[in-house]
Structure formats: C-alpha cells, structure tokens
Amino acid sequence: MSAITLFCDFDGPIADVSERYYATYRQGLDWVQATAQAEGNPVTIRHLSKSQFWTFKQNRVPDRQIAHWSGLEGATIDAFLAQVSRIVNHAALLDRDRVQPQAREALDLLRQCGVRVVLVTLRPPDQVMDFLDQHDLRWAVSDLYGMPQLEAAYSNQANHKVERLGAAIATQQRQGYDLRQSWMVGDTEADIMAGQTLGIETVAVTCGIRSSSYLQGFRPTHLLPDLWTACQKLQQRVTLGGCA
C-alpha cells in the first residue's frame, strides 16, 4: 500500500495546550501559597503573565527557575513541582486544551489528499480519543500510538518518543504500508530526534511548546509555523491525486 503516511505529534501540532499549562502553573502557585499560609509560613508569590510563562516554556527554561521567578524558594519549589505533576492531567484542566488554529483545515486537506495521519504521542490514548471525539476529529486519524503514563507528555523525554515512533513505524510496515514517503511532525526536540533516529524527514512546528530559535538548533528537515503550513509544503513535495 503506497498511501503517504504522516506521523504526527498530538500536543502542539493539533492540540493547543498553552492554556492548560498556564492554568496548572497558576493553580500550583495558589496551592503552595494557601498551604504555606495554613502552616503559618506565608509566602509571597508573583504570577507571571501567560505571555511570560509561555515564552519561558518555549525556550526550555526549567520549571524550577520559573518557580523561583514566581517567588518560591527551596522546599516550596519542590512542593509546587509535585503539585503541578499531580494536577496537570486533571479532567478540569484537560478541558482547557483547544484545537490549534487551522489544524482542522490541515487535517481535512490531508484526508482529501489520501494522506494517512498516524498520531505518535506521549499522552495516554484515551485522553487523545476523548479530545478527538469532543472536537469531532476522530475521522482525521488513521492510527494512534500513545503512552500509558499520565505524566509522560509533561516530562516529554526523547527516548520515549523514539520508542513510540519506532513501534508505530514497525506496525505500519507489518500492515503493508510503504513508508518511503513519510514525515514526522512535532513541536519539540523529542519529535525531531525521534524522526532523525528512525530515518524519516522531520517537520518542526513553532506553534507549540518550543520556540523557533530553540528548535532550529536540532536541525529539523523543515521548520514551519504550523500543521497547515506543513500540509502546503507536503503538497509541493509530492504528487497527491485529487488535491486542489
């Protein structure tokens, strides 16, 4: 089977997680402040703006440093980081995830062109499917490879993404798909490193949790603003029957 396969990360290219991560950050700070107050050790916190917070995240500033700049020290930083890890995947916060602008149009174009979209994510599959159902996007995905650990996507380790992409490629090949024309699309260094390790072209998109300047250092095959632009690039590179 010669259908073109686009391996794609979920958070970043498709799901905008910025509001959830910022809300998690704020709730974590508020929890630390309330806990310290109740214990008679009040702390003064400073909420970074969403723009400040997301710029730091995109440029890989450690969470510990972000906590320090928000007024925390020592043990309160440890407590904050533990609380963030506990609540980041809570259902009330997951509801803050949104579809990236033009991602729906990009996925529809890929479907029209006969491109198979295979999600390779560190999110648990049930979380991803819930999001796809909530936003009527299940039709866009041919297959899904996720992780069982709730915290995996937040820690985003490259070795996990390499393993998941490797499993996805092996399974697709066993199913008879020709992967000579395939890309790995993602918004982090883990996505780029996974694609490079497994020998497929990489597309780094800058609409997610890493900045353009940061991603450039990992030398992706293509560095593009978003999934929509990646789809247009794909059209230029290959002949897709039936595409306008």
Neighbouring residues of 142: CB distance < 8 A, sequence distance ≥ 6: 5, 116, 117, 118
d(CA 228, CA 101): 9
pLDDT score for 240: 46
User: What is the phi/psi pair of residue 143, to 5°?
Assistant: -160, 165
Q: What is the pTM of this model?
A: 0.91
The CATH superfamily assigned to 5-17+98-237 is HAD superfamily/HAD-like (3.40.50.1000)
Chain position carrying tokens 């819930």: 130
Q: Identify the pLDDT of residue 209.
A: 96
How does pLDDT run along the chain (244 residues), one tens digit per residue? 457 899 999 999 999 999 999 999 999 999 999 999 999 989 999 999 999 999 999 999 999 999 999 999 999 999 999 999 999 989 999 999 999 999 999 999 999 888 999 999 999 999 999 999 999 999 999 999 998 866 555 566 889 999 999 999 999 999 999 898 899 999 999 999 999 999 999 999 999 999 999 999 999 999 999 999 999 888 776 554 445 5
> Residue ranges per domain, the chain?
5-17+98-237, 18-94
Strand order in the sheet with 5-8: 143-145, 116-120, 5-8, 182-186, 201-205, 222-224
Cα–Cα distance measured from residue 194 to residue 200, given in angstroms and rounded to the nearest whole number: 9
